[in-house]
Amino acid sequence: MTDQYAVIGNPVEHSLSPEIHAEFARVTGQDLAYGRILAPRDGFRQAVQAFRESGGKGLNVTLPFKHEAWDLAAVRSGFALAAGAVNTLLFQGDRIAGHNTDGIGLVRDLTRNLRVAVRGKRVLLMGAGGASYGVMEPLLREQPQTLVVANRTLEKAIALVGHFEKLQQFALQGISARPYDALAGAQFDILINATSAGLDNAMPPIPGNVFASGALAYDMVYARRTPFLDFAQRQGARVSDGLGMLVEQAAESFFIWRGVYPETRSAMAMLRRRMGRSAPAAEGVNRDS
């Protein structure tokens, strides 16, 4: 019998998850079907319960329900605990287990696909919203030299850093929060835009001299060329969008559900073709995709 999975959100019609998981099922020989569930904004729990009762095995959770999914889960993985958000639900009998695979997806894209080590590097994380909370712990466990969180509202950056204070020993020179105008004179090896500014054709107000020689500029937004990536490339940085993160976090969800880790190369190539972009997303980077 074909096992049922889905992505749940509102909106959800834009999600690429069904295509990604269909490709994972193909390459691994797993018998599953994967759909989309548009849940009412005040009806997340009811929609999850209805899917479970129909025989569903697990769900990916997208906006705006990641915090509700965290509340719903009876058991949470370590990364989900720190992030305060869940993007993957696994139904285990009467129990719901919650996981957060976003940070794992980012780190795997950086280290496996882009072949950029985080260990010993100076990392700038722009934004202090849910996306940043989701990736902080996995980034810190890669043992960067330092990790700086920059945000327009400094108080939010300070709160984010304080939330992960117990993990700051993983960064050799610690973690800190700064407003953007305090970045002048600092340089970073990996710059990650975790804001949604690119969706509005905008970018965080960073100075041009923050890019160290050979720096990688990474934007979590995918399927479009953002002003941040254009700006970074003009400064001589290597650039990448967030499509690899999307695929790698999905692969971790697939492993949680099925116990099989899919290779991600074919899914990446499929999505690039679908988007009409045959060239790699990471210009100047030896990318395994």
User: Into which CATH architecture does domain 103-244 fall?
Assistant: 3-Layer(aba) Sandwich (3.40)
CA geometry: angle at 204 spanning 199 and 208, to 5°?
Answer: 125
pLDDT digits (tens, 9 = 90+) for 254-283: 999 999 999 999 999 999 888 775 343 433
Q: Active-site residue 57, yes or no?
A: no
Please give the Cα distance from 9 to 255 (Å, whole number): 21
CATH tag, 3-100: 3.40.50.10860
* The model's pTM: 0.90
Using one digit for the tens of pLDDT, what is the confidence trace for 62-121?
989 999 999 999 999 889 998 999 999 999 988 999 999 999 999 999 999 999 999 999
| pLDDT class of 284 with cuts at 50, 70, 90 | very low
The domains of the chain are located at 3-100, 103-244
Q: Is-same-fold flag (3-100; 103-244)?
A: yes
CA nearest to 127, candidates 180, 202, 165, 84: 180
User: CA 249, 253, 259, 261: dihedral to nearest 10 degrees?
Assistant: -20
Inter-residue contact 136 to 159 (CB < 8 Å): no
Please identify which of the residues 66, 121, 156, 166 carries the catalytic annotation.
Answer: 66
Look up residue 153 and give its two tokens: 């509202």
Taking the CA atoms of 272, 277, 281 and 284 in sequence, report the sign of the dihedral they define.
Answer: positive
